[in-house]
Structure formats: C-alpha cells, structure tokens
Structure 1
C-alpha cells in the first residue's frame, strides 16, 4: 500500500514537471519560428542573431539565474513567480537548438518558392502561413525531440535554484523529488522514481513526438521535378504544393524562362561582386579588430587601476577556465573514439538502424543529473572520484549529439557514397580511411559543435553539485578548480562581480574557438563530396 501511494505521489511530481516542460517547449517553438525565420530571410538580422544564439546556447544555465530571480521571483507573487522562473530556465536550454533547425529549414528552400511569392505579391503573413511555417515544421519536430532531452537534463537545476543566501524550489517536480530521495538515502523509492520517469519519457516519445514525426514526414519526395529530389520533408512538399498551381500559369512559365536565360549572367556578376566585397570586407574587418583591441586594452588598464580585485578575479577565472577546457576536450576525445565506430556501424553496416536510434533516443532522454547521486556513490571509492564524476557527466552530455548528428546527416549523403563501398569492395582500413571518415565529416563537425556546447553547459553540474535548496547545504561532488565550480560558488556567495568576470572569459573563449576552429572546419567539410 505504501509503494502504491508513493507511485501515485511520484507520478504527480512527474506530471507537474512535464507540464512545465510542455509549456517551455510551446514557448520555445513560438520564439524559434519567429527568430529562425527572421535570421533566414534577413541578411542583417542573420549577422546579429546567429552569433548571439551561438554564444547563448553555450553559456551555462545559471548565467540566467540573476535575471530570472530579479524579473520573475521578485515581480510575480510566490509560487507563480517560482514556476515562471523554472519555465524560463528550461526555455533557455531548449530554444537555441530549435532556432537553428528553423533557420536551416528556411535556408534550403528552393529559390523558386520565393520568386513565385514575389511574382504574385504574397504578403508577409501569407508567406509565413503558407511557405515558411510548413517548411520549417519537420525540422521543428526533429529538433524538439533533442531539445526535450536537453530540457530534461537541466530539470533538476531549473527546479532548484539559488543566489546568495536565498534558495528557491518548486513544491512538485520530479527533479526535486528524486534529489530529495537520493540525498536522504531512500534508494528503493529513488529507483522507483527513476522507473516512473523513464515511463514518462517513453510515453512522451511514442504518444507525442512519434505521431508528430509521422505527420510531418509523410512525403519523402516531390515528384513534379526530378531536380528537387533533395526536398525530402513534408513541410517543403506542402509549401511546394501550395505554389505548384501558380507555376503552371503563363506569367509563371514566362518568369521561369527569363530566370533560366539570365542565370548565367547573374552568376558572373554575382561572382565578381562577391570577390570585390570580400576584399573590402577583409580589410575593414582587420582594421576594426585592431581598433577594438586597442580600445579594450585601454579599458582593461583603466578598470584594473580603479578596481584592483578585478585582476585577482581575472586570474582565478583564467585558471578555472583552463582546467575546465582540459576536462571538456579530454572527454570530447573519448566521445569521438566511442561515437565514431558506433556511427559507422549504424550508417554503413547495420540493417536495424531505426531500432537502435529509437533505443538511443530513449536512453539519451534520461538526464545524467537524475543519475548523478548514483554516479557519485558508485565512484566514491576511487582516487580522484570527483574528476571521474565530472568526466562521466561530460561524456553523457556530449556523446548523443555526435551520434544523432551523424545519423541525421547520413540522410543527405549522396547515393554514390554507399555505391562506392559496394562497387570497389572497400573493407577494413581502406574503408575507414577513404570512405567512412570523409563521408561522416559534415555530421561529425556539426555534432562536435553542439557536443562541446553541451559539455560547457554541464560544467555547472559536473564540477560542483550540492544539496542546497533540498536538504541543507552539503557538497556532493566538487573538483579542485573549474569554471563551472567558480560560477556555482560565486553565485552561491552572491559575488556577482566574480561571476560576471567568469562568464565574460567563458564567452570570449567560445567566440575564439568558434571563429578559429569550427568555422574553418565547416568550410573544409562543406564540399566533402565534390
């Protein structure tokens, strides 16, 4: 009888968390459609939105804690403010991934869609309703599955947050309930809670996301023109069907012929213009960077002279950042060593890829933060157990991004990639060197960007985890030094200056890595099949 009562109570807690998750997902999709479409159709907006989102998705969730507390908790009364804060924190972990999905979906729309829309004078709302939203929805659903998993990862951190001596926690929530059970030593109820949590994950997958995926991917091709074989999503097919009747009218056929005749001329003019603009842009960019460096140097010298503590804080932040940088990239190297063979097997060898993919999606939906108490207990007897705990959290945070990204990108691989393997009988080392490694590079690079971002986000849990807000203040796991620990401790002590300095250093590091590593890798692998 006691077990039945507990199952009913833990089901209520899980349902409360799921209600917050669905609310956060709804608002994340609304925000993503607006921001993603704006970035895709406007060059000016694209230059601003993409770098900002790229930084935001890498910042740890507690970077938003002060904003959440001062805006939601202080302005909205009691429990309403706490729940609004939790939902907002979950949105900050969900939205970025969906925004990039919407952006990519609109970017791959055939140019004829927009040309026909211009020709027939379709207004903004007509384009949004009939073209952009239908074309984006398949990617929205696809990215929502991953964003849901990300939101679950930060469920514990979102449902329990603190700043200084003030602690905030929701009354009902699976994150709070499981953390309380684990830290109180009630492991039987803890494992029952995890089973209930997994049940909700599976039910959500089959009863919510699976029907949506089937609805938006019913049509794999568009048969009107063979050259559009790459348009595989139902959303693009739906948008094309809306405009298909327009393209058969005389004005449309005339516009199409004119477009084809002028294509070569436009290409030559465009190539020459782009080359000239690139030369001017590079020169202006270098000059701008030089001026910015000089200004920043003077500002830094002035601030340090006025506030001596800043130099000490900066040194502490740099040491912490270097330690976390090493942990993140060591974990990433192990992730690659494990994920690459798994991806090769799933893409090129296995005949049951969809079954494995479904299993991986269910496993990936179980957040490492829920398992953290058990991970800590299992590793407590080992030397450097805190470092091992951090490594396991980093590993679980990043590996799924690599696997899912490579599998998703395999859908766009040209058929010749698979035919080469059969035609030349590539096996063993030759297949790995000349086929597998090159064919999966685009997916690996995309997955690597999101995996590294996920690891940085996980640093606040991996490097420092306490029972604050649950059952007193006991440190469960703590590394000696790290940027995640520094952010946690500075926020907990109310040292906002140190927290801001740590965040600024983390942001600068992210920009440098994105500029000098990921963007260059993207350029190199973009034409991997040519």
Structure 2
C-alpha cells in the first residue's frame, strides 16, 4: 500500500524504479557517479575524523576567532557538521514525537501542550542549563561545548518538523487508514507505507526551513556569554558574530558569501533531489502535467553502488525491522486510550508528574528572589513583544500565501525560486541587522521598526515553506476539476487553494509564532561595535538577563513568554487546527 494511488513503478530514496522498463534498466552505467559517491563517502569520513580531533582537544578558557579568509573552510565544515548532527536528531525526534502525539486523544492532550511550550522557549533560555550541564560532564575537552551547540541548534530545527508530521498524520484520509487496518499492516509497515509517505512533502519543505532556522541561530549557538564566562566554538556562526561585533565589513561579507555558497551547494546536491523524489508521494489519481526534476537524482539512480545497496543491503534491514514490528491488528478501543498501554500511560504520568513538581519547586525558589520592579517590568514587556509579533505575522502572511501558492503550483517557477528562497531564509538576519539598525536608528521609532523587520526576517520563511508544501500537495485531479468547472480568480482560491493549503498554513503560523517570540531576543537587544541597543520587550529582558547571569529574571521572562505563546496556540491555532481536520481533509 502506498499513499500515491497512481500506477507508477515502486521506487525508493536512493534506488531506481524497481519496475522500470528493461531498456531503461540496461542503460549503460556511469562509472563517474560511483566514483563521486565513493569520494563523497571518503570525504565524509575524513571530515568526521577532523571534527573528532577538535572535539577531543582540551577545553580552552578563551578562543580567538580568526577572521582571515584562510580560516573560512575549516569553520564552514565544522558548522555544517553541527547542523547535520542537529538535523538528524531533529528528524528522529519529530517522527517519534509526531507519531506519538497523533496516536490518540490522550497522547495529544499530553504531548501537544508540551510541544507548544518547547517551541515557545527562546534559545537563550535553554542555553544556561544545557551549556553548564554538558560542560560539567566533559570538563577536560570540547565534547560538552560541541554537544551544547548541537542541542541549541536542535531547538531551532525540531519543533516545526514535529508539527508538520503531526499535522500530516491527523489529515490522513479515513479510507487509507481503513485500508491499512484491513491489510493488517504491522506497525513498521503502517509507518513506512502510509504515515511517512503521506508526510514526506511537508517534511522535505520543513527540513529546508529547519536548516534555515539553524543558520539563523547559528551565531547564538556557537558563541555565547553567561555572566563572566565566554564560550566559543570555531565555526561560521562565531565567525559572522565576531565580524559583526568588530565592525569588520569585509569579513562579514566574506562570511555571508561563504554561507550563500554552502546554501547553493546543498540546494543542488540535497534539497532539489529530495523535492523531486517527494513528488511520488503526492496523493492524487492522475499524473501531473509537470513534475519537479533533478539531474543529481537522475545520476544517483544510475549508480551501480547505490543500486546494490538498494537491492541487497536495505531490503535485509527492512525485512528485519518488519519482523520486529509485526504484530496482530489492534482491537477497537476508545480513542482516548488507543495507542498507549495502561501501564505505560501510568508510568509516563508518574515520571512527568515528578519532573513537573521538582521543576515547579525549583523555579518557585528562584522567582522568590525577584524584586517588585522586576515583576512590574513583565506585563508591558510582554504586551510590546506581542504587538510586534502580531505585526510581523500579518505582514508575513500577506505576501507568503500568494507567493508560496505560485511556487508550489508551478514546478518551473519552483526550480528557479527554490534556491533563492533557501538563500534568503538561511542568511542569518542577525548578521544583517547591524546595517539595518544603522539605517533606521535615527528615525522615530527606529528600533521598534527594526525589531519588527528582524522578526519578519526570522519568521516569514516558516509560512512560505509550509504554504509551498501545501500547494505542491494539491492533487492534480482536483486542479483539473477546477479547470473543467472553470473556477478562476477568487472562486478558485475559495474552493480549491485556500482549503488545500489551510492545514499547512496553520502549521506555519504556529511555528512562526514561536519563531517570532524567539527572534525577539535578538531583535530587541542588539550589540554592535561595542554599543548596546535595546527596546522594551520580553526578548530584550531575556537577553539582558542571560548576559548578566540573572537567572531569576531569565526564568520569569521565559515563563511569561511560554505562557503567552501557549495561550495563543490553545485559544486560536488549536481551534483552527480542529476545523481544518474536520472540513479540509482529503477523502
């Protein structure tokens, strides 16, 4: 069983079509492809060995960031490996968490509020506990700092992936679920043949957003200050931050150029092939007139080495996983208890309860040290950041919906726009913000305008990538039906486009809301050229508290921010989610 109901050859991520015509299968192999694959594997092993040497190096109390061009390649390699490690963790977490949250009403009520809270907590609020704990575990080398950077990047990549997969699982058509039950698919088969394929398009586009989000916060993850302690890792993010702090425009431009080069390379070698491959998982009954293509994917499908892996090694692994996951079909149980055994639910509840009680007690003791002035500063700061977030989301939605739909419905436009969108989304706005600030600081409300602009730069991409994914997932037969019934203009948007992209847009709005609040910590509190600029807001309050190691103010600001974000999600976005599940699910 597969999500795509068209008659097409079975195909996998790295192999060619299993049922391809004989003439195509006998096509001469391109040995150059296999050579490049082997060289790529050797290069990957060498890069990992170099990074392992850096990890095992003694922990330095102070690291000087070399701004010379010769340092760029090594810094870029280190950052890419950190990003890749964080992305792998994010994807594994998202698949497990999203599936667990969608397994039943009880799990959803428990896990989704936790995800709301996690995605609303700024990276600076994770930083003290993560950094200090991991450095204490590995006091004699860089392992703790490297793991801390990976975990911090993970917090900027994981949440939108988890929301995307959860949203996909909640909108799987009922007939496909019933077919999986009738065919007695094992847990592993249900995951690989129904759930993962149905969520692939959203995961691919949100993966691009996750990498863009990782680049956005890379500067904060590789170089951070906690009181009198200065933690730095050699990487592209710390290079850009050091260049911005020192006012070295030449080094800043060189770092941004390197980042753009990496983005273009990843687009050609990774994202464009994945977008083309994900086309086969579109839920439709007629073949699309135009589909995304990738020369790299075409070349990889001709690789004898990858074909051997696909036909020999991977099937053995899949058979073993299928054997482990085989179990009789579940009996009909109430939705509230389905998917999680009673003992497991009880144990999970006890663990969560104990952890929550301990956390409440620790935070209560910390908050008792705050002054009256500290408490009085919280409401106006929260209101100011809430207004900036609302403006940023309104502006972002106004332009990303029409542009995202245009890109998603037109593969030719997507081929041209995809790398440009990725470059624009991946360039850390914090590296450009000093220049933007210098242009606006002299105007009335200059810092407020600049803060909204930086929030917009950090959040609009969540909306755009999700809208593109939603438009790309519209079945071709529905598009053809719209043409047959001559739907155009507003009627086409009302009856076809908006209902189709609405669930994806909601996912983008939820993650963009959390992203806007996270971006407030770098948009409301800016250090450039030795000067500090800040305005009223929770982001500025949290950033100032983190820089001065005032953990009580940091905790209070984080709690208020999490409370506001969760309240908005519960009162607004979650209700719209239920409406999307009931009214706009494909059946």
TM-score, normalised to structure 1's length?
A: 0.74
CA distance in 1, matches of 2:500, 2:99: 30
* Structure 2 Cα separation of the partners of residues 528 and 216 of structure 1: 22
Change (3 A) 1:66 1:516: same
Q: Distance in 2 between matches of 1:195 and 1:357?
A: 18
Larger helix fraction of residues: 1
The answer as to whether partners of 1:183 and 1:373 remain within 8 angstroms in 2 is: no
Question: Aligned-pair distance for 1:436?
Answer: 6.0
Change (3 A) 1:509 1:518: same
Q: Following TM superposition, by how much is the alpha carbon of 1:512 offset from its aligned partner in structure 2, in angstroms? A: 1.5
Q: Specify which of 515, 520, 523 is matched with residue 570 of structure 2.
A: 515
Alignment-derived partner of residue 378 in structure 2: 317
How far did residue 376 of structure 1 move?
2.4
Q: Return the offset for 1:126.
A: 7.0
Q: Name the CA distance, whole Å, in 2 between partners of 1:330 and 1:442.
A: 22
Aligned counterpart, 2:554: 499
- 2:533 is matched with which residue? 477
Alignment of 1:45-194 (within 5 A): 45-77=107-139, 78-107=141-170, 108=172, 110-112=176-178, 114-115=180-181, 119=184, 122=186, 139-170=202-233, 172-194=234-256
CA gap 1:25/1:516 in 2 versus in 1, 3 angstroms: same
- TM-score norm. by structure 2 comes to 0.67
Which residue pairs with 1:282 in the alignment? none
Shift of 1:72: 0.8
Q: 2:518 aligns with which of 431, 435, 457?
A: 457
Alignment check: 8 A CA contact 2:408 2:470 kept: no
Q: Secondary structure at the match of 2:225?
A: strand
CA distance in 2, matches of 1:512, 1:17: 35
| Conserved? CA contact 2:282–2:473, under 8 Å | no
Contact 2:201–2:473 (8 Å) recurs in 1 = no
Q: Give how far 1:221 is off.
A: 6.1
Q: Assess if the C-alpha contact under 8 Å between 1:406 and 1:443 holds in 2.
A: yes
| Residue 26 of structure 1, aligned match among 74, 77, 88 | 88
Change (3 A) 1:24 1:189: same
Cα distance between partner residues in 1 of 2:506 and 2:197 = 28
Do the aligned partners of 1:376 and 1:477 also contact (CA within 8 Å) in 2? no
Once structures 1 and 2 are overlaid, which stretch shifts more, 147-156 or 65-74?
Answer: 65-74
CA distance in 1, matches of 2:381, 2:555: 14
Residue 523 of structure 1: how far off its partner (Å): 3.3
SS at match of 2:230: strand
402-411 vs 148-157, greater mean Cα deviation = 402-411
CA displacement, residues 148-186 of structure 1 (integer Å, 9 cap, x when unaligned): 11111110011112222222111x111111222233232
Is the Cα contact below 8 Å between 1:313 and 1:501 reproduced in 2? no
CA distance in 2, matches of 1:142, 1:349: 15
For each residue in 1:443-465, what CA deviation from the matched residue of structure 2 results, as whole angstroms up to 9, or x when unmatched? 43332222222111101101112
- Contact persistence 1:321–1:483 (CA under 8 A): yes
- Please identify, of 455-464 and 418-427, the stretch whose mean Cα deviation from structure 2 is larger: 418-427
Q: Secondary structure at the match of 2:377?
A: helix
Superposed CA deviations along residues 32-89 of structure 1, whole A, max 9, x for unmatched, are 3332333333554333222211221122111111211221122212422221111110
Identify if the C-alpha distance between structure 1 residues 97 and 381 changes in structure 2 by more than 3 Å, giving closer, same or farther. same
| Aligned positions, number | 452
Aligned-pair CA distance for 1:485 = 0.5
Q: What is the alpha-carbon distance in structure 1 between the residues aligned to residue 501 and residue 270 of structure 2?
A: 30
CA–CA distance in structure 1, aligned partners of residues 585 and 273 of structure 2: 34
1:249-260 equivalences in 2 (<5 Å) = none
Aligned residue in 2 for 1:342: 403
Unaligned runs of 5+ in 2: 1-66, 287-313, 323-327, 337-359
Partner SS state of residue 41, structure 1: coil
Contact residue 397 and residue 454 of structure 1 kept, 8 A: yes
- Distance, in Å, in 2 between the alignment partners of 1:29 and 1:440 is 23
Match of 1:284 in 2: none
CA gap of 1:332–1:36, structure 2 versus 1, over 3 A, is: closer
Distance (Å, rounded) in 2 between the aligned partners of 1:151 and 1:157: 10
Indicate whether 1:371 and 2:432 are aligned.
yes
Question: What is the CA-CA distance between 1:346 and the residue it aligns to?
Answer: 4.2
Partner of 2:97 in structure 1? 35
**Residue 9 (structure 1) shift:** 1.8
C-alpha separation in 1, matches of 2:481 and 2:278? 29
When residues 21 and 309 of structure 1 are mapped into structure 2, their CA distance, relative to the original with a 3 A threshold, is: closer
Q: Where in structure 2 are the equivalents of 1:288-367 lying within 5 Å?
A: 307=368, 309=370, 311-343=372-404, 345-346=406-407, 352-367=413-428
The whole-number CA distance in structure 2 between the counterparts of 1:476 and 1:156 is: 17
CA distance in 2, matches of 1:351, 1:362: 18
Give the Cα separation in 2 of the matches to 1:44 and 1:186. Answer: 54
Cα distance in 2 for partners of 1:139, 1:448 equals 14
1:92-112 deviation per Cα after TM superposition (whole angstroms, max 9, x unaligned): 111222223343455528324
Matches within 5 A, 1:364-443: 364-413=425-474, 415-416=477-478, 419-420=481-482, 423-424=485-486, 426-427=488-489, 440-443=501-504
Offset, 1:442: 3.7
